[in-house]
Amino acid sequence: MRYLIIYATTEGQTRKICRFCADQLNSQGHSVEMLRVGDAEDVELALFDAVILAGSIHIGRLQAELGDFVATHAPALNVRPTLLLVVSLAIAGDDPKDRAELDSIAQEFADDAGWKPGRIEHVAGAFRFTEYDFFRSLAMRWIARQRGQKIDPHGDKEYTDWPALAEVISGWPGDGGAGG
Ligand X SMILES: Cc1cc2nc3c(=O)[nH]c(=O)nc-3n(C[C@H](O)[C@H](O)[C@H](O)COP(=O)(O)O)c2cc1C
Residues that bind ligand X (CB under 6 A): 9-14, 56-60, 87-90, 125-126, 128, 136, 139-140
Nearer to ligand X, 67 or 81 (CB): 67
Q: How far apart are CA 132 and CA 89, in angstroms?
A: 15
Peptide bond into 153 cis (omega under 30): no
CB of 111 to ligand X, least distance (A): 19
Cβ atoms < 10 Å from Cβ of 104: 12
Distance in angstroms between the alpha carbons of the first and the last residue of the chain: 20
User: Shortest distance, CB of residue 115 to ligand X, whole angstroms?
Assistant: 20
Q: What is the amino acid identity at position 7? A: Y
Of the pair 12, 179, the CB lying nearest ligand X is at 12
Please say which residue, 4 or 89, places its beta carbon nearer to ligand X.
89
CB of 121 to ligand X, least distance (A): 14
Question: How many secondary structure helices (H) and strands (E) does the chain include?
Answer: 5, 7
Nearest to ligand X of 81, 89 (CB atom): 89
